Amino acid sequence: RSGEMAKSTQLIDNEVFRAYATYTAIVLLKMMLMSLVTAYYRVTRKAFVNPEDTASFGKGDSAKKFLRTDPDVERVRRGHLNDLENIVPFVGIGLLYALSGPELSSALLHFRIFAGARILHTFAYLIPLPQPGRGLSWAVGYAVTFSMAYKVLKTVSLL
C-alpha cells in the first residue's frame, strides 16, 4: 500500500503540476463563488425562477410576483456561464500542458496571467467596468489557453 501511495503522490510532487493544482483550484473556487453571488442577488432582489423557491413568500399571486428576472441576477449568471466557457478549456488544456514538460517559469507565467485575467473579468462584469475592460480581460485568458494548447500540440508532434 505504501508503494501505491508513493506512486500516487509523484505528480503532486512535481513543481509544474503543483503550480497547475494551485491555480486550477483557485479559478475553480472563483467560478464556484458565482453560485453564491447569484443566490445573494436572487434573495436580495427577490427574483426567482422556480415556483417552489417562492413558497415561503406565501401562496398564489403574492408569491408569483417574485418569479421574475432581474438585471443583476442575469448579469451574474452571464459571468458564471462565461467562466464555464473559459475555465473548462483552461483546466483541460492546462493539465495536458502541465504534463508536456514546460519550464516551471513558463508554466507559472501562463497560470498566473490566466488566473489574474479571470479574476479581473469577474470584477469587470459585476461592477461593471466600461468596455474594453471586460473584453480585454477575457481576451488575455483566451490567449493564455491558446498558447498552452499550442505547446501541447507541438509536444505531441502535431505542430
Q: State the nearest-atom distance from the C-beta of 136 to its own copies, in Å.
A: 13
Site for its own copies in 115-154 (CB under 8 A): 128-131, 134, 142, 145-146, 149, 152-153
Q: State the nearest-atom distance from the C-beta of 40 to its own copies, in Å.
A: 14
Q: How many residues bind its own copies (CB under 8 A)?
A: 63
Handedness of CA 67, 124, 122, 95 (dihedral sign): positive
Cell numbers given for 81 = 456561464
- What separation in angstroms does the CA of 135 have from each of 76, 118, 128, 132? 16, 11, 12, 5
Q: Does 61 bind its own copies (CB under 8 A)?
A: no
Q: State the nearest-atom distance from the C-beta of 56 to its own copies, in Å.
A: 7
Site for its own copies in 73-102 (CB under 8 A): 75, 78, 80-81, 84-89, 91-93, 95-96, 98-101
CA distance 68 to 9: 49
CA distance 40 to 34: 10
The correct pick among 40, 43, 55, 57 for binding its own copies (CB under 8 A) is 55
- Phi first, then psi, for residue 15 (nearest 5°) are -60, -40
Contact 46, 66 (CB under 8 A): yes
Q: State the nearest-atom distance from the C-beta of 35 to its own copies, in Å.
A: 6
Q: Does 67 bind its own copies (CB under 8 A)?
A: no
Contact 112, 96 (CB under 8 A): no
Contact 121, 141 (CB under 8 A): yes
Q: Residues in the site for its own copies, rule: CB under 8 A?
A: 4-5, 7-18, 21-22, 24-25, 28-29, 31-32, 34-35, 49-50, 52-53, 55-56, 75, 78, 80-81, 84-89, 91-93, 95-96, 98-101, 128-131, 134, 142, 145-146, 149, 152-153, 155-156, 158
